[in-house]
Amino acid sequence: MRLALAQLASTDDVAAHLPAVGDVVARAAGAGAELVLLPEYAMYEKKVVDATFAAVAEPLDGPFGTALAELAAGRGVALVAGMVERAEAGDRPYNTLAAFGADGSLLARYRKIHLFDSFGFRESDWIAPAPHPEPVVFRVAGVTVGLMTCYDLRFPELGRALTDAGADVLAACSSWVPGPHKADQWSVLARARSIENGCYTAAVSQAEPISIGRSLVAGPQGELLAEADADPSLLLVDLDPAEVARARERDPALRLRRL
């Protein structure tokens, strides 16, 4: 499967940056990508999460989600993007990843489980956590993809649950906040999730200045296959699910677990 990581610099003007999303998805599709990953909060992003996120929230079939579905169908490519999803009840929306198929259908919805209440931030003041935490996977081009969002990368149990659900690829769509040691932690954590699960990790982030950029793809043995710099960019990587099988045969840690 040819995978594209679209590193964006999203803003708080939803309509204004939709053309940028369309442009990068078009370039990815033109290069043969079968799946395009966009970052967390691709729909709407600010330096600090606040009450405005609830104000712009919409259902997955709202204007932004509909535009993504039409874009996927128009370009014949599956895509995953971070949205601010209106909650059924309460005043806090969900931080949601929506996966659309190449026909525009909704393949999966993942509401962020682990909110970023760390390093002085309080995402949970403004965003609701997933009401029913569970691993979310979907199939595209013969590959099973598991969804996680940013801070989730620090929780190895979610990566393992996604692997147990069949994931060959962990898609970590993120807006990784800058700070001391954060860039090193981003790379180490992504590669660790690959090593311990014998799978690919595709970690796409928002670009500077809100986030660190540095989107990357790690192979099933933790090897770095591709990495972006800090600016908006597009990474293309070919993934082979047979490599996942070979890595898990070489190191059968998943079978050797004793719980």
Which residues are the active-site residues? 40, 112, 150
Residue 64 to residues 82, 85, 146, Cα–Cα distance (Å): 11, 10, 23
Hey, which bits of the chain come out as E strands? 2-7, 35-37, 78-85, 94-100, 106-111, 137-140, 143-149, 169-174, 200-205, 216-218, 224-227, 233-238
161 token code pair: 């649950």
Phi first, then psi: give them for residue 186, nearest 5 degrees: -55, -50
Amino acid making up residue 122: R
d(CA 197, CA 195): 6
CA end-to-end distance (rounded Å), the chain: 34
Phi first, then psi: give them for residue 163, nearest 5 degrees: -65, -45
Give the gyration radius of the chain's Cα atoms: 17
Phi-psi region of 214 (alpha: psi -120 to 50; beta: other; left: phi over 0): left
Look up residue 128 and give its DSSP letter.
B
Burial 160-176 (b: 16+ CB within 10 A, else e): bbbbeeebbbbbbbbbb
